Structure 1
């Protein structure tokens, strides 16, 4: 079967990653999806069919990344990479002076080191029309109390993205802030609280698709920058 495009999405089993995978498959694309929870990823594979290639594993594990790289190479040219996999850190979120340093190191491995490791094998596989999206957060810019671990990791990811964009101007490389969403990770940040007022991930996907379609200069963007369809045509 011929696909319109091929995308690699980390953290593809739930939340925003799964919502994006659904949208890309619906548009005739093929998605290589990875996530730690094999059962959830298998559920996504059953839902999306042969257009979704499931590669379960922990993105911080070099052996898993090697398997993932082999799958991507075998699939042929890569059009889109979305580094969506992320860790919140401990829940409830601790203040920095109480932050367990082993947890902080684990957080940085997931949110900074792993995305770069994926980019190191995937970027050479992207064609001239390829697009890279690293999922960011406003916590990387705003000094929210108790968000220092997660926020600092996203600030570092933003800078990593900016430098890569400067080093590779021939490829579209973006940091994308989707805003608050009704996801399991966001719920973990507010244990016991009602987050039903947050938008579903599916409602944010169109903004990312508009970013990819428009291909503006390499930079950091937020979903709100592409909320109005007429404004980005």
Structure 2
């Protein structure tokens, strides 16, 4: 399977809504894909099989994004299978909502570990291994601008991701590697829809001028742009939200 001329992507959290759409889009763009998962091996195998059935190339890889040893092994596995890594997309994340005064601090620590430390660990490996001409793409949220109630702990972790992104872009000066972040608006994924009643969902769907929720495929399209032709976009946070903010 080794082919140093094929572009290769790692998508963390590739069993989730946005992660799966991203993995499938990058495969459709011609990249070999490492489908990363943390706990659901069957779903990761399903994503990899769907990519392969569509004529693409994929393997599933497992590891805790916040564990540097585990993620180093993930990068090793992808390099061994496909000859290198060109694109790293950090979609892995968790969201636990409550008013700031009521948020369980253990939940805050869980989000910090996955969303901040996990992004940092994966970016650290990516900074060491991504080939020239590559791209590192993190994930934030448009709620850093929208300031919805109950999101304080989650937004704090994503604001940290936004801060890390341009710093890493500058640290990779001379390497021909771009570093950007995508900040989705309300998107129809299980992570976002969980716990919301239909009235709330309808209200959010009408909030953007385009009058609908985003889809995982909308976010994957933004990633595809940053991973491919967008060589002059660097150190930026791209708010992919239909104009809601």
- Residue 5 (str. 1) matches residue 13 (str. 2): no
Structure 1: gaps of 5 or more residues: 226-233
* Alignment of structure 1 residues 26-41 onto 2, 5 Å: 26-36=28-38, 37-41=40-44
CA offset digits 1:31-57 (Å, max 9, x no partner): 011122212111112211271110134
CA offset digits 1:172-223 (Å, max 9, x no partner): 00011132211010012x4333647423211332233223312213221222
Residue 16 of structure 1: how far off its partner (Å): 1.1
TM-score normalised to the size of structure 1? Answer: 0.86
CA offset digits 1:65-96 (Å, max 9, x no partner): 2331321332322110101101002xxx2111
Residue 6 of structure 1: how far off its partner (Å): 0.2
- Equivalent residue number for residue 201 of structure 1: 216
Query: Would the alpha carbon gap of residues 192 and 144 (structure 1) be closer, same or farther in structure 2, given more than 3 Å must change?
Result: closer
- Equivalent residue number for residue 45 of structure 1: 48
Question: In 1, are the aligned partners of 2:186 and 2:241 still within 8 Å (CA)?
Answer: no
Structure 2: gaps of 5 or more residues: 206-212
2-structure distance, mates of 1:66, 1:127: 16
2-structure distance, mates of 1:185, 1:115: 18
Q: 1:176 aligned to 179, 182, 196, which one?
A: 182
Q: Which runs of 4+ in 1 moved over 4 A?
A: none
TM-score normalised to the size of structure 2? Answer: 0.82
Q: 2:237 aligned to 195, 200, 220, which one?
A: 220
Q: CA RMSD of the aligned region, Å? A: 2.2
Question: In 2, are the aligned partners of 1:34 and 1:54 still within 8 Å (CA)?
Answer: yes
